[in-house]
Structure 1
Amino acid sequence: MAATDFKDYYATLGVSKTASPEEVKQAFRKLARKYHPDVNPGNKQAEARFKEINEAYEVLSDADKRKKYDQFGQYWKQAAEGGFPSGVGVDMGGFDFSQYGSFDEFINELLGRFGGASPRGGRQSYYRTTTGAPGGFNNFNDFGFQDVGTAGATQDSEAAIALTFSEAFHGVQKHLNLGNEVIDVRIPAGAKPGSRLRVRGKGPVSPFTQQRGDLYLKVELQPHSFFQFEGENLVCEIPITPDEAVLGASVEVPTPDGAVTVKLPVGVRSGQSLRLRGKGWPQPRTGRGDLLAKVAIVPPKDLSPQEREYYEKIRAARTFNPRSHLQQVKL
């Protein structure tokens, strides 16, 4: 990668390199609202800018990725994915990484200089590996790694793959550039953050057997303006008015399949979650999960004279005191 290909993600979000995670998030949200395609329909420049903002936030909001980005600069992806493109001379402080088939190989070589394992030194080496024959593709199998020191082991690697919520929900086919080859990978519907997919025979070459290990793809989702995950649950926030909370109402709630009408119970509280069964994320074995819609009571900022009059009448006639139990609170 040439130096001119380097993307300064801090500059993209307009934050300093010492910015806190909260500052990074605030900068992203501000820019995302400004350049979101829904706000700029048909504007290709805004769309490209929005993609750059998402890309920058994806890296800087992830502590591990940000650490690699700060450490390796324009070579952070090669370090994160475990390898550099073959035949490319990489200049990092005068050190040439291109002599190594993967970043793990460089680490092993480095450890070998201090008396550890080294694949080039011919001594016994220990890799983060798993056994398995090349060929084939398994979906959503979280394969554990085991440390093995046998000459028959294959060497695996892990890389992150970023998906939009739509791609992860519906499934998508992705073209992956592995440096010396491009492969097509089908991501099945229902990929979640942290899901790991195994691509057989597309990992690094073992220094012992010259056979390729497996490539594990860890799914990361780009932020969505409305939906998000909390653990295994798909959640969203539904703003309602005070009168809807007191009297109950029927409101439309967006779901991945489109809007549905939901009946709010009388006296619903802010923060209360309404479960929309079968309207959540696809489940590999059980069909569809549920969507949790969190209620947020939003008071109006600008009142008409009539609205203000009615609210004042309500206040004057109100008998309910939600803080009455606080009178007995003491240390």
Structure 2
Amino acid sequence: MASTDFKDYYALLGVSKSATVEEIKKAFRKLAVKHHPDRNPGDKAAEERFKEISEAYEVLSDKEKRQKYDQFGQYWKQAGAGATGGWPQGNGGVNVGDFDFSQYGNFDEFINELLGRFSTPGGPRGGNYTYRTNTGNPGYGEGFAQQPSGGDQTANLRLSLLEAFRGVQKRLNLGNEIIDVRIPAGAKTGSKVRIKGKGSANPYNQQRGDLYLNIELEPHSFFQFEDDNLVCEVPITPDEAVLGASIEVPTPDGQVTVKVPPGIRSGQTLRLRGKGWVHPKDGRGDQLVKIVIDTPQSLTQAEREYYEKIRDIRTYNPRNHLQRISL
């Protein structure tokens, strides 16, 4: 005979048997907000409903419990706990039958503790969860990403190229705490800086995760990155390309004189060793100078006459090899 107190957990949460964990969590949150006793004072039916959906969520969000529930139906508890029946007493167990709601100051505290229990080793695989009824900015600033309670948090931090090259100290507002963080020299877009113990606190055990800063560099008008090298483009004139020249090139340390060899072509690269980006473990990298031959758009009469003379006496034809090209 089927148990008279068997509950259809899927029906309680209003989800299908094929619902994902995320869909189950979303349904639970919606119902929890509606039926929580704090929002329905004196309503015994709402309190009982809240207990039922909490029980349903605990089971269906746990991979092993859900598998037993799907397999054994009304006998899943006996299958999970042996002949004694009742709730399996793992690390993630929640006795909702005689749950004392008065120990919580508000709805958020209960939900965060409940979901925090699920993130313990006895809970489901898939990491920690958090729940907040407010949707405002958590107080960290632009780019802050709300993360699981009692787990790691991440935030994006934008730096100028100068700040990243030299290293910089930044003051960050975490909402309930102001901290100073030293960003070491040589950070690049994609670098991560770990700040231990400054992540979110688990309300169940008060342990805090870590805060990870994702570094993002502001675009620069002259310098770019190519792998680990600092890259720039420097224009030269046609006569400098033909005859060679000494030109001034900006580096992170200031201007340096670079010799351009005669006959250089547009697109060729000169390497300035040790003038590139800071590598925390390997010292300075190289700066790559890409040469671009810049043809003048306006000429004086004298310049035009000299270019015409060069054209008339020039023996070099860069298109000679094209005469041998055919299909």
Query: Shorter-normalised TM-score: what interval?
Result: 0.5 to 0.7
In 1, Cα distance between equivalents of 2:175 and 2:268: 49
In 2, Cα distance between equivalents of 1:295 and 1:249: 12
Q: Is 2:185 the partner of 1:167?
A: no
Alpha carbons of 1:289 and 1:315: their partners in 2 closer, same or farther (altered >3 Å)?
same
* Residue aligning to 2:322: 326
Give the C-alpha shift of residue 114 in structure 1: 12
Q: Is 2:196 the partner of 1:200?
A: yes
Q: Deviations over 1:84-120 (max 9, x none)?
A: xxxxxxxxxxxxxxxxxxxxxxxxx9xx699546963
Match for residue 263 of structure 1 among 259, 280, 295: 259
Q: Is 2:238 the partner of 1:242?
A: yes
- In the alignment, structure 1 segments of 5+ residues that lack a partner are 1-108, 130-152
The answer to which of 271-280 and 201-210 deviates more is 201-210
* Residue aligning to 1:301: 297
Q: Is 2:207 the partner of 1:211?
A: yes
Give the C-alpha shift of residue 267 in structure 1: 0.7
Give the C-alpha shift of residue 328 in structure 1: 3.1
Q: Deviations over 1:285-319 (max 9, x none)?
A: 22211111110110111100011111111112222
The answer to which of 285-294 and 113-122 deviates more is 113-122
Match for residue 274 of structure 1 among 264, 267, 270: 270
Q: Calculate the TM-score normalised by the size of structure 1.
A: 0.55
Alpha carbons of 1:325 and 1:201: their partners in 2 closer, same or farther (altered >3 Å)?
same
Give the C-alpha shift of residue 192 in structure 1: 1.4
In 2, Cα distance between equivalents of 1:315 and 1:128: 72
Alpha carbons of 1:317 and 1:115: their partners in 2 closer, same or farther (altered >3 Å)?
farther
Instruction: Summarize the alignment of residues 1-331 of structure 1 with structure 2, pairs less than 5 Å apart.
Output: 115-116=60-61, 120=114, 122-123=117-118, 124-126=123-125, 155-206=151-202, 209-331=205-327
In 1, Cα distance between equivalents of 2:202 and 2:311: 75
For the 8 Å contact 2:249–2:256, the answer to whether it is kept is yes
Alpha carbons of 1:307 and 1:182: their partners in 2 closer, same or farther (altered >3 Å)?
same
In 2, Cα distance between equivalents of 1:227 and 1:114: 55
Alpha carbons of 1:251 and 1:330: their partners in 2 closer, same or farther (altered >3 Å)?
same
Aligned residue-pair number: 200
Alpha carbons of 1:229 and 1:114: their partners in 2 closer, same or farther (altered >3 Å)?
farther
CA RMSD of aligned residues (A): 2.8
Alpha carbons of 1:209 and 1:328: their partners in 2 closer, same or farther (altered >3 Å)?
farther
For the 8 Å contact 1:127–1:155, the answer to whether it is kept is no
In 1, Cα distance between equivalents of 2:164 and 2:227: 16
Give the C-alpha shift of residue 206 in structure 1: 3.2
Alpha carbons of 1:209 and 1:127: their partners in 2 closer, same or farther (altered >3 Å)?
farther
Q: Calculate the TM-score normalised by the size of structure 2.
A: 0.56
For the 8 Å contact 1:201–1:214, the answer to whether it is kept is yes
Rg: which structure is higher?
Answer: 2
